[in-house]
C-alpha cells in the first residue's frame, strides 16, 4: 500500500461539523476496505455535540475517543498537539486526514507534520479575509502545511494557488452535500421534531461564532433581531452561546419572548428536518450556509456576519451577508418574506460525490508516492 508506513489513514475529528462532514468519507473508506482509524479528540464533548452524531450517522465507534482539557484556545491547541502526537506515534499512519478549520484541525496537523506524516486537508482553500476569526488563522496555517488539499470549489482552489501552497490540490466538492443527500430520507422518516415546534412558519436560527457571541453588544443586537423578527424564530442554542446568554440578561429576554423557541442543540436528523421546513435560515454557521444550498433544501440564508468564506452561496443567490445590526437583519427578513426566492437547482458546493473523489485521490496518492517531499 504505502512504502515505509503501515498504509493506514488516521481520520481525526473534534467538533460537531467535523463528524458530519467526515461521515461520508468514512463510509467510502469502509466500502473500499481502505484501512483507517478514527480518533475523536473531544474538543466538543457533550453527548449532543459529539457521540450523538456518530450514532445517528451510523458510524463505527471511533477507535480512540480522547478527552481534551477544557481550556483557553492556546492551551486547548497545545493539549491536542500532545494527544495527537502520541496517537500518531502509536498508529504510524500513512496519512492524517482532517476537515475544516477548528483548533483540533490545526493541532493535529501540526502533530502530524512534526512526525513527517503527510496531512490531507478536507475543505481546503476557504478564506473569509476576516482576521478576527480563529478559524481563518487555523485554515490558512493548515493549508500551508498540508500535502494534499481537497478544495470544495474552483474558487477555493484559486485561493490556494494564489497563496502558493506547496501541497497537491484536488477540486472535490464539499462532503456536506453528500451528507444531506445521504440523510434527508432517513431524517424525514425518523424525526418528529416538527411536532414540538410551536409555529407553522418560522425562520431557523443558529449562532456560535466567537466574534458574534463573545461580544456583548453584537450578541445583544442579534438577540434583539430574533425577539423583534417579523417571522417567529426556532433557535437551537450552541453551548458557547448558552454560556454567554446566561452570563447576561439576554437569556431571559429570549426565554420570555413569544417570538422565539429555544431548543438545546438538536441531532443531525432533527436539524435537517427543521431546515427543510423553515422559511429561511439566519446563521453564522459555515456548514449551515452550505447545507441550505443542497438540492433537497434550497433555503435562503441570512449570514449574520460581515464576511463569509463561502461566497459561492452569495453568488448563486442562496445567501446574503447581512451583518449583525438588528435593523438590517429585520429589513432582510422582510425582503425575503416579500420576494420570491428562486435559486439554482444545483448546489455550488458539489453534487454529493465529494467523498468518493477524496477517497479516490487518497488511494491514488498513497499507492503512487512515498511522500519524499516531506
Q: Could you list the residues that contact ligand UDP (CB under 6 A)?
A: 16-17, 20, 206, 208, 236, 265-266, 268, 271, 285-288, 291
Give the C-alpha separation, 283 to 268, whole Å.
Answer: 16
Binding to ligand UD1 by CB under 6 A, coded x per residue (else -) over 86-125, reads ---------------xxx----------------------
| CB of 72 vs ligand UDP, minimal distance in Å | 20
Q: Which is nearer to ligand UD1, 46 or 163 (CB)?
A: 46
Give the C-alpha separation, 83 to 37, whole Å.
Answer: 15
Q: Which is nearer to ligand UDP, 43 or 94 (CB)?
A: 43
| CB of 249 vs ligand UDP, minimal distance in Å | 24
| CB of 101 vs ligand UD1, minimal distance in Å | 6
| CB of 106 vs ligand UD1, minimal distance in Å | 8
235 is a site residue for ligand UD1 (CB under 6 A):
no
239 is a site residue for ligand UD1 (CB under 6 A):
yes
Q: Residue 280: which residues within 8 A CB-CB, separation 6 or more?
A: 203, 204, 231, 299, 300, 301, 302, 333, 336
Q: Which is nearer to ligand UD1, 17 or 93 (CB)?
A: 17
Q: Residue 272: which residues within 8 A CB-CB, separation 6 or more?
A: 180, 183, 184, 187, 191, 291
Q: Residue 311 touches which of ligand UDP, ligand UD1, none (CB < 5 to 8 A by kind)?
A: none
Alpha helices in 99-166 (DSSP H): 103-114, 134-145, 154-162
Q: Which is nearer to ligand UD1, 90 or 243 (CB)?
A: 243
135 is a site residue for ligand UD1 (CB under 6 A):
yes
Give the C-alpha separation, 133 to 362, whole Å.
Answer: 30
| CB of 290 vs ligand UDP, minimal distance in Å | 8
Handedness of CA 353, 355, 359, 364 (dihedral sign): positive
Q: Are strands 36-40 and 260-263 parallel, antiparallel or unpaired?
A: unpaired
Q: Residue 46: which residues within 8 A CB-CB, separation 6 or more?
A: 239, 265
Q: Is 198 helix (H, G, I), strand (E, B) or coil?
A: coil
240 is a site residue for ligand UD1 (CB under 6 A):
yes
Q: Residue 44 touches which of ligand UDP, ligand UD1, none (CB < 5 to 8 A by kind)?
A: ligand UD1
267 is a site residue for ligand UD1 (CB under 6 A):
no
Q: Which is nearer to ligand UD1, 102 or 308 (CB)?
A: 102
Give the C-alpha separation, 28 to 212, whole Å.
Answer: 36
| CB of 126 vs ligand UD1, minimal distance in Å | 11
Q: Residue 159 touches which of ligand UDP, ligand UD1, none (CB < 5 to 8 A by kind)?
A: none
Q: Residue 64: which residues within 8 A CB-CB, separation 6 or more?
A: 37, 38, 39, 40, 87
| CB of 191 vs ligand UD1, minimal distance in Å | 20
Q: Which is nearer to ligand UDP, 117 or 275 (CB)?
A: 275
Q: Say if CB 42 and CB 65 are below 8 A apart.
A: yes
40 is a site residue for ligand UD1 (CB under 6 A):
no
Q: Which residue out of 38, 183, 208, 238 is catalytically annotated? A: 208
Radius of gyration of the chain (CA): 20
Task: Compute CA distances 98 → 13, 22, 61, 146, 292, whole Å.
Answer: 7, 8, 18, 10, 23
Query: Does residue 208 carry a catalytic annotation?
Result: yes
Measured from the Cβ of residue 67, the count of other Cβ atoms closer than 10 Å reads: 11
The interface region with ligand UD1, picked from 14-22, 175-183, 250-258, 269-277 by CB under 6 A, is 14-22
Q: Residue 260: which H helix or E strand, with range?
A: strand 260-263
Q: Residue 243 touches which of ligand UDP, ligand UD1, none (CB < 5 to 8 A by kind)?
A: ligand UD1
Binding interface with ligand UD1 (CB under 6 A) = 15-17, 43-46, 49, 70, 101-103, 134-135, 208, 239-240, 243
Give the catalytic positions in this structure: 208
Amino acid at each position: 500500500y504505502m512504502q515505509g508506513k503501515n498504509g493506514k489513514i488516521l481520520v481525526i475529528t473534534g467538533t460537531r461539523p467535523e463528524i458530519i462532514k467526515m461521515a461520508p468519507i468514512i463510509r467510502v473508506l469502509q466500502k473500499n476496505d481502505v484501512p483507517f482509524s478514527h480518533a475523536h479528540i473531544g474538543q466538543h464533548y457533550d453527548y449532543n455535540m459529539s457521540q450523538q452524531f456518530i450514532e445517528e450517522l451510523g458510524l463505527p465507534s471511533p477507535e480512540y475517543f480522547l478527552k481534551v482539557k477544557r481550556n483557553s484556545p492556546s492551551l486547548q491547541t497545545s493539549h491536542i498537539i500532545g494527544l495527537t502526537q502520541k496517537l500518531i506515534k502509536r498508529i504510524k499512519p500513512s496519512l492524517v486526514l482532517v476537515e475544516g478549520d477548528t483548533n483540533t484541525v490545526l493541532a493535529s496537523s501540526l502533530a502530524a507534520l512534526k512526525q513527517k506524516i503527510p496531512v490531507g486537508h478536507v475543505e481546503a482553500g476557504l478564506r473569509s479575509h476576516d482576521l478576527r476569526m480563529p478559524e481563518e488563522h487555523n485554515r490558512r496555517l493548515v493549508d500551508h502545511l498540508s500535502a494534499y488539499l481537497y478544495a470544495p470549489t474552483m474558487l477555493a482552489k484559486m485561493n490556494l494557488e494564489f497563496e502558493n501552497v506547496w501541497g497537491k490540490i484536488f477540486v472535490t466538492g464539499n462532503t456536506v452535500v453528500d451528507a444531506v443527500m445521504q440523510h434527508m430520507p432517513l431524517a424525514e422518516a425518523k424525526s418528529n421534531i416538527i411536532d414540538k415546534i410551536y409555529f407553522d412558519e418560522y425562520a431557523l436560527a443558529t449562532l456560535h461564532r466567537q466574534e458574534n457571541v463573545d461580544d456583548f453588544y453584537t450578541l445583544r443586537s442579534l438577540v434583539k433581531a430574533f425577539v423583534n423578527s417579523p417571522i417567529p424564530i426556532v433557535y437551537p442554542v450552541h453551548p458557547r452561546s448558552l454560556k454567554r446568554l446566561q452570563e447576561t440578561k439576554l437569556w431571559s429576554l429570549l426565554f420570555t419572548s413569544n417570538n422565539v423557541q429555544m431548543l438545546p442543540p438538536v441531532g443531525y436528523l432533527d436539524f435537517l428536518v427543521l431546515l427543510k421546513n423553515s422559511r429561511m435560515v439566519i446563521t453564522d454557521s459555515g456548514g449551515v450556509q452550505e447545507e441550505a444550498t443542497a438540492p433537497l433544501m434550497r433555503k435562503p440564508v441570512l449570514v449574520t456576519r460581515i464576511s463569509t468564506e463561502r461566497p459561492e452561496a452569495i453568488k448563486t443567490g442562496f445567501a446574503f451577508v447581512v451583518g449583525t445590526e438588528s435593523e438590517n437583519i429585520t429589513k432582510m427578513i422582510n425582503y425575503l418574506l416579500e420576494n420570491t426566492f428562486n435559486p439554482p437547482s444545483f448546489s455550488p458546493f458539489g453534487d454529493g460525490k465529494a467523498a468518493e473523489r477524496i477517497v479516490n485521490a487518497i488511494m491514488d496518492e498513497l499507492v503512487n508516492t512515498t511522500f519524499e517531499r516531506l
